[in-house]
Chain A
Amino acid sequence: MSVAGPLALAASDSLGALAPGTASGETPLTAAAVGSVSESIDWWLVGEPADWWFVVRNVDYLAGGVLLTVGLTVASILLGFLAGFPAGAVEVYGEGLPKRLVSTAGVVLRGTPIVVILLVMYFVIGVPQVNLGVGSISPAVSASILGLGLRSAAYQSQIFRASLSSVDDGQLEAGRSVGLSRFEAIRYVVVPQALRRSIPGFQNEFTIVLKDTSIVFAIGLAELLTRGYDLFTQETTAVLEVILFISGIYFVLTFTTNRALDYLGTRYAIPEGESA
């Protein structure tokens, strides 16, 4: 995404209450609307009304950040699920070496600060650029996905470990009593129940990963929060506007996904009677 936003700001007179709108090419109508609002609302909380134009002018810069934040979150959560679910299952049902390896890896990943994990991925292991045909993922982005994804896997494994062990042993036993193998009984009887019970923990994990993507600034990537920081360090009178704006975006992202997961939980809820 371009860095035109913050640069454009230098050209405009940001201190003038009504001027910057026209100066940076917005329609006079919108500028007037903001102007009229400024007369009727007490702006003590958010500063001068004109400062919102600063956010508007840089919205494409922030949108690039949103894109990176969402992309990193989705890829990391997905990787975290693909690695974390089997890891949780191995911790519950495995034994011997595989179980020890998985639980040790989990302890190490959960015990290491995420900045360190990212630095190791980027500088020590040196995750390469990934070509996807249509486009390529830069080394910094693939290192971020791997780092955030593996750490999420370590946390998700505990969510699934807890939900798998919470399913009564009698369920597995009953599955086996009709002739299902151990794997089939876990797959068809325990997992469907455990996944339903993982939703609240998974909602937590999703929210945490979403906000933790900001840590990728450590290896030079600028997602939403970092871009916001870039902006308000340049335009110090619009600090609160930028912070409120990006908080709003984080809120919308977490709120909608949590509601979507809530819906999933209700949609697949196991019917309960009045008496059991």
Chain B
Amino acid sequence: MTDGDFLRVSDVSKWYGDEQVLDEVSFGMDRGDVTVLIGPSGSGKSTMLRCVNRLAEAQEGSITLDGEEVLSPDTDVDELRREVGMVFQSFNLFAHLSAVGNVALGPRRVLGLSEDEARERAADQLERVGLADQLDSYPAELSGGQQQRVGIARALAMEPKLMLFDEPTSALDPELIGEVLEVMRALVDEGMTMLVVTHEMSFARAVADEVVFLDDGRVVERGPPEQLFERPEKERTGRFLERIASHD
């Protein structure tokens, strides 16, 4: 398999105290690729994702984004996060700001746009995720699906070159998952580079260029979705997929 080198994760290891949560994880993505991380809970997939924008610190290995080493002590993490958008499982919308305020904060304070420019950009992004009619709603006034779409708009407003999704639909009622996945599919169609942790196997099957199966902090198996889902090479992968399938 040819590894992409837009985002290249090489032998990344991480420990919380004595407990090793990532064990020499490696994979790569090209620009425009969609890679989906799957695995049982506690397998380290969210931690892996968070190491990419350094919300978690990997202790060993290397992560390069567009040729730049992410894990170096010299890396400006604020600069890195400006270029890497993140969508959280629990949305984490700024509770005291309206939808437009949530999306405008980064452009206003980080990119230095004027109040009006930031608002305008925020309104555009909210329209992009289908929330043009909810600009002035506060997070508590929105449904979970709407909140998560604001979360996506907030990340997109920074014009990131990579988007990280940390179980974006896991906290949603089943009937609200669709609207979020629909927005994500649209991003895929636009060519966004996306690294996604999810349990939505049909989504992974439909849009992923590569699926990485993590268990116990290790990459058990990775490959194109049709191969990994239909003909998993490792027994553990098959067992995991069966367990997931029986709940679908």
Contact = CB atoms under 8 A, between A and B. Distances in A.
A271 B55 CA distance: 29
A177 B140 contact: no
Contact of A178 (B95, B137, B142, B154): B154
A178 B110 contact: yes
Given A188-B105, A188-B109, A178 B158 contact: yes
Interface stretch (A37-45, A65-73, A179-187, A198-206): A179-187
Given A271-B140, A273-B141, A177 B155 contact: yes
Contacts, number: 78
A240 B84 CA distance: 71
A173 B92 contact: yes
Looking at chain A, what size class is its interface with the partner chain?
20 to 34
Interface residues of B, number: 29
Interface string B73-111: 000001101100110101011111000000001100110
Interface stretch (A46-54, A91-99, A156-164, A189-197): A189-197
Contact of B94 (A176, A181, A184, A189): A189
Given A179-B79, A180-B110, A192-B96, A170 B88 contact: yes
B73 to A, nearest CB: 16
Contact of A171 (B86, B94, B137, B157): B94
A175 interface: yes
B169 interface: no
Interface in B38-93: 53, 55, 78-79, 81-82, 85-86, 88, 90, 92-93
A270 interface: yes
B90 A178 contact: no
Given A178-B82, A180-B106, A271 B94 contact: no
12 contacts: A171-B95, A173-B55, A176-B81, A177-B88, A179-B78, A179-B79, A179-B158, A180-B109, A180-B110, A188-B109, A196-B96, A270-B140
